[in-house]
Amino acid sequence: MRVAARLIEGDPHRLGDYRLAGRLGAGRRGVVYEAYDSGGRRVAVKVPHGDPELWRPLAGEVAAVRAAAPSCTAKVIDADCVGARPYVVSEYVAGPSLRGAGRILAGPDLLHLAAALATALTALHEAGVVHRDLTPDNVLLGPDGPRVVGFGPLSPTETTLTWPRLAMNAPAYTAPEAFTGREPGAAADVFAWGAVVFYAATGRDAFEGTSLGTVMHRVLSVDPDLDPIPQPLRALVADSLAKDPERRPGARDLLRALVSADATVRLKAPCLAPDCLTHASPTAACLPAACLVPSGGDIPGWAAETFTAEAPLTTGTVLGGRVCLADALLAARVPLTLDFLLAAGDAMAARLRTPYDDPGLGAVAEDAYVTLDPADRPFASAMFLRLADGRGGPRGAGEAEERIAEAFGPLVVRAGDLARLADPALPYAWPRLAGWIEADRDARARTARDRLYWLGLTVLLTLALVAALVAALGTGGRPV
């Protein structure tokens, strides 16, 4: 099924190298569109609200977002903050939002979601970026794990308005300090992390109310009942929802605690890895991994002999397929580099997969094409070339093109004897149509060159004939 809504009056059809196909959503910050680049890649294009002139000073913040590690976030691919219509392009995530999925998570799924959010915030915060709008609507449950979206530079209106006014659309996920006039920073994202995890576990907001005032009061004064959230996640959520931002853990601390908890659980299972190095000596047989769980947080003896606390562990030196070793080191209290933690968080997030029926325009069109009767397929290229050029159809092949238009369903809008492409991005999104257009363009170019050649030859022959006649007339009509 297609998830994007149709473009409406006033929506652009093209921005830079991107053809817009439909609306994915709209909010206080702007509109997000489904789009395709010239290579047919499906992307999400965010067009912010506000005066474009006010966006130009924010190019640096967009650059910071692009520089952030893409761990558990939708990677920012391109951006234009200086054009007449600013936009930000990110990878497309095929999946519902956490709120839209209507799904309550428990057990490992809840832990993996919490890790995905902590991984995304860690990557952003380490790049100096504050999300500012982490809510269940900005968490997409993709087929390869959750992805955080909606981050990015402040909109122009946010640079002039107070934070409480900005929070009216998501007050239950706004940190208390924002309501008391303090500038919210990374700690506000951590507060939102706790509120989103609560929502994932319960299906309701942590600070519910029938009015903005009621929600603000609860955010400022009430601690939600966290009993539905299992330990050790419950303690982390409680810390993240602290009213005082100074008492909240950092996103990296959350990630460290989550991957350690996950590794400890998995270490209690028998070790089956053939290349496992979690044994007492290089010649010893692989011990049951349960024997390697750190006691009291100490580094296991076999690990202490290999690594020292003064040398942080990197992904390259530990992962390499040695799953049990990586888990044991995550569970132990040893210093770990940022890339190691992000890799561990990505691995946890990837275990929460959400299959979703969200094919792109190209896939829908190709599926329709392969269902055509082979006898009708030769007519499809001519028909779609006319539609791509803006010329009406179906016509010419009569019943064949009627059947083709019927097979392509909502991709072709028909009105009487005329038709048009429902999505102007289809020539970008459907490789087969792009190939037809390219071949037609080449054929037209060859035809134009051939016409020019014969025209030139005709002109030369005509000039030669005229010259011969003039010469003949100059000699009295007698041959020279």
306 and 312 in contact (C-beta within 8 Å)? Answer: no
Contacts 24+ apart (CB under 8 A), 104-110: 104/200, 104/201, 104/202, 104/203, 105/200, 105/201, 105/352, 106/201, 106/230, 107/230, 108/351, 109/352, 110/197, 110/200, 110/201, 110/229, 110/230, 110/233
* Residues marked as catalytic: 133
SS3 14: strand
| Tens-level pLDDT at each residue, the chain (480 residues) | 556 677 788 888 888 889 888 888 877 677 888 888 888 888 999 888 777 776 776 677 777 777 777 888 888 888 888 778 888 898 899 888 999 888 899 999 999 999 999 999 999 999 888 888 899 999 999 888 999 987 654 444 343 333 443 444 588 999 999 888 888 889 999 999 999 999 999 999 999 888 888 999 899 999 999 999 998 899 999 999 999 999 999 999 999 889 888 776 665 655 544 444 343 333 223 333 333 333 344 444 444 444 444 445 454 544 444 445 556 666 666 667 788 788 888 888 988 988 877 788 888 888 888 888 888 888 888 888 888 776 655 555 577 778 888 888 888 877 666 677 777 778 888 888 888 878 877 777 888 888 888 888 888 888 888 888 888 887 765 554
The runs of H, that is alpha helices, within 280-376 are: 301-304, 315-318, 323-331, 338-349, 361-370
**In which element (H, E) is residue 464 found?**
helix 431-474
pLDDT at res. 338 = 83
pLDDT at res. 280 = 32
CATH architecture classification, 95-356 = Orthogonal Bundle (1.10)
pLDDT at res. 134 = 92
User: Could you tell me which of 196, 179, 209, 183 has the C-alpha nearest to residue 130?
Assistant: 183
Burial per residue of 45-68, b for 16 or more beta-carbon CB atoms within 10 angstroms, e otherwise: bbbbebeeebbeebeebbebbbeb
32-87, pLDDT tens digit by residue?
888 888 888 889 998 887 777 767 766 777 777 777 778 888 888 888 887 788 88
pLDDT at res. 407 = 84
Q: What is the pTM of this model?
A: 0.74
Distance CA 164, CA 95 (A): 30
* Residue 44 identity (one-letter amino acid): A
Cβ neighbours for 197, distance < 8 A, ≥ 6 positions apart: 110, 113, 114, 117, 229, 233, 237, 240
Cβ atoms within 10 Å of 429's Cβ, excluding its own? 26
Distance CA 456, CA 445 (A): 16
DSSP secondary-structure letter at 15?
Answer: E
The phi, psi pair for 134, rounded to 5°, reads -80, 115
